[in-house]
Amino acid sequence: MKDLIIVESPAKARTIKNFLGSKYEVIASKGHIRDLPKYTFGIEIKDKSFHPQYTISKDHTEIVEKIKAASQKAKITYIATDEDREGEAIGFHITQALNLPYEKIPRIVFHEITKNAITHSLQNPRQIDMAKVNAQQARRLLDRIVGFKLSELISSKIQRGLSAGRVQSSALKIIVDREREIRAFKPTIYFLINAVFNTKSKNKQQTQNNSIEAELITYDKKLEKLSLQDSKAVGAMVEHIQKQQFFIKEIITKSKKTPTPPPFMTSTLQQSASSLLGFSPSRTMSIAQRLYEGVETNFGSMGVITYMRTDSLNIAKEAQKAAREMIIKTYGKEYVPAKSKNYATKSKAAQEAHEAIRPTNLDFTPQIAKSYLKPEEHRLYALIYYRFLASQSQDALFEIQNIIFTTHNQAHLIEFRASGRKLVYDGFYKIIGNDDKDKLLPECKEGEDVLLHNIESVQKSTEAPSRYSEASIIKSMESLGIGRPSTYAPTIALLVAREYVNVEKKQLVPQESAFKVIEMLESYFDEIVDSQFSAGLEDKLDEIAQAKMNWESVLWEFYQPFMQKIESGKKVIISQKVTIPTGEMCPKCGKELVQRKSKYGEFIACSGYPKCKYIKPTQQDMQSQPQEYGVCEKCGEPMVKKIGRNGEFIACSGYPKCKNTKSLTDKAQAHSVEGVACPECGGEIVKRFSRRGAFFGCKNYPKCTFISKFQPIKEKCPQCGGISVEREYRKKQVRECLKCKHRIEL
């Protein structure tokens, strides 16, 4: 008789099965098997008690039956869902679906999917933690109450289809507030006075440039940038300075340590992956999930990173030891500090039982991993791998130098400052690289006379605050205590899906619907969009998880005043829905037709909606008759012209039953790239178009699978002779080799 282990995902089930062999049956629940109903409120509230009406979704019915059958045959049934509130709740709901007492079902947890971790967890089972289950249930019910009741009100007062939520609306207000700042911003013009000094050194051995750029910092008194706003006064200052003789008053040199970065937790991983790799938070978490659940490697099937939903910076002592050994082996003893480095998160509610995100096996290096991981998986894995090694390395050391220039004539105290820096010891930069270039100053001496080679005033303007990116909004949410690691990515994805914000050039741009919703919430439900209120609720949920508060008391404390506001809002909030009578009558029910607005534009519909759903066809609809382009050779239906993101094409009118399509414009056809042969087979490289946009590939596809996102150029890589492309990398134009990734800044 086999023991049964129930996990969340099929990939994790396969990996664990490979470790344990035939003695265990491993089945995946595929996430939550029970939840609140999708289209109804689903909570019965009576006498300050909350009774959720959980149901098993249709797409989980089959898997629940499979788990029931396997559990009845098993000697022992283990719950092995993720060790967070969601995982604990999933495990509890599995026991309820199986009609088993949760107290008697062994619960096992692990932070990494390796054979040792799984074996250790089986030897040390615990009970399901009902405090965590209650915290998850409180959050789920709280979000259902807010989302269901508030969305219903917003839809009735502003526009159908809009929604609100506790975390969602708090995050949206942050984005809207920043946009308000940008719109209200008025730039201020100011000037900087910059000079170039030449040292008079005639040392023949000195080969470096003796020019030093400096900025005016004192003119009778210390200057602030915005104090130089009068162009005439600035012109007079420049004219006066040009007549002066200068010398080096002081050379200030000091050392500055740059501490090692901590290993990743969920929020910092999402931020770094966004800024360095261009991944959205949801994409980052999807890739990290695959790395955690298991891949086939030269060490066997295993999860290659620890659990990726964590707000902890803890590192296991074994992992610290392994990191130190790997640094010594790869970079040398001088890159390892005397003691292992430990980090602490600023969050009071961090789940310190978890670890930070790190590789599970440091011998599985990014170089080896490249053969086993998909390109996007490899990029994220390398980011995690090197960040973890860097966290256990030495600090970097810079030498900071400031040179102060002043005049011989002290009637006016005039001072310029030049700043430079030099990396003295690379430390952890040896592992993760250093994009900050040194700014070296020429050798010079205090008291040395210098020549004023050039001076100019540069007009500047204060800039409006920048819009939030996906990375910066996560950082802001984390600092304000809005949401938790598992909610950052879904919250941003929801705001984009609801069309409250658009992502334009990696910036979150709020749409008009966002302003309308936030304005209404600020007027009538200010606590919902108050970050302190949301953070306070998060703290209470944390206390429920620690069995310090009663979950129903917390819910009731929120529910009663909230529902009073909802009922009041139904009466006092003025509807923003605009309906303009047309004088025409509905052909279906006889009521008057009115002109309405939606997020898709204006339309004419029956005033009897929702009982009557008649919508009058527009003149464009009546005039646009589909032009036929022959008959579909697959099903015999007419072919018609359509427009897609890559231009016009023809498609079968029998869609979706028949999905036959053909190109119609030249844009969809392949264009040859002259002078560059395929590096894999020597064939012709052509430009093609797909639903994801343009790309470059070999004409011999599918025999040859060469592909590039960027257009290959004739110039070959100076290091390996491979094909190069020109692209933007970290806001700079570079020439990059597709083979060895060698980059040359253009």
Residues designated catalytic: 307
Asked if 736 and 727 count as a contact pair (C-beta separation under 8 A), the reply is yes
Q: Quick one: tokens of 393?
A: 């390395």
Q: Quick one: tokens of 434?
A: 């250093």
439: DSSP letter? B
Asked if 701 and 686 count as a contact pair (C-beta separation under 8 A), the reply is no
> 509: which residues sit within 8 A by CB, 6+ positions away?
179, 467, 501, 502, 503
CA 265 to chain centre: 13
Judged by phi (left if over 0) then psi (alpha if -120 to 50, else beta), residue 429 lies in alpha
Crossing angle for the helix pair 551-572 and 130-157, nearest 10 degrees? 0
Cα–Cα dist 572/588, whole Å: 33
Q: How far is CA 60 from CA 66, 452, 482, in A?
A: 10, 78, 31
Asked, as a colleague might, if the bond just before 610 is cis with ω within 30 of 0, I would say yes
**263, exposed or middle or buried, with CB in 10 Å at 0-12, 13-18, 19+?**
buried
Asked if 30 and 64 count as a contact pair (C-beta separation under 8 A), the reply is no
Asked if 170 and 176 count as a contact pair (C-beta separation under 8 A), the reply is no
Q: CB atoms < 10 A from the CB of 679, how many?
A: 19
Crossing angle for the helix pair 488-497 and 470-480, nearest 10 degrees? 130
341-366 as b/e: b if 16+ CB within 10 A: beeebebebbbeebbbbbbbbbebbb
Q: How far is CA 691 from CA 123, 648, 658, 673, 713, in A?
A: 50, 12, 18, 21, 24
Crossing angle for the helix pair 317-331 and 375-391, nearest 10 degrees? 100
- 80, 110, 392: which is closest to 263 by C-alpha? 392
Please, which residues bridge with residue 688 across strands?
Answer: 695
Q: How far is CA 737 from CA 82, 674, 697, 714, 743, in A?
A: 41, 18, 16, 12, 7
Q: How far is CA 507 from CA 167, 178, 291, 503, 515, in A?
A: 20, 12, 28, 5, 17
- 185, 271, 174, 173: which is closest to 465 by C-alpha? 185
Q: What is the Cβ-side half-sphere exposure of residue 202, based on CA atoms within 13 angstroms?
A: 1
Asked if 690 and 677 count as a contact pair (C-beta separation under 8 A), the reply is no
Cα–Cα dist 525/515, whole Å: 14
Judged by phi (left if over 0) then psi (alpha if -120 to 50, else beta), residue 445 lies in beta
Q: What is the Cβ-side half-sphere exposure of residue 200, based on CA atoms within 13 angstroms?
A: 11
Please, which residues bridge with residue 251 across strands?
Answer: 403
Q: At 466, phi and psi to the nearest 5? A: -80, 155
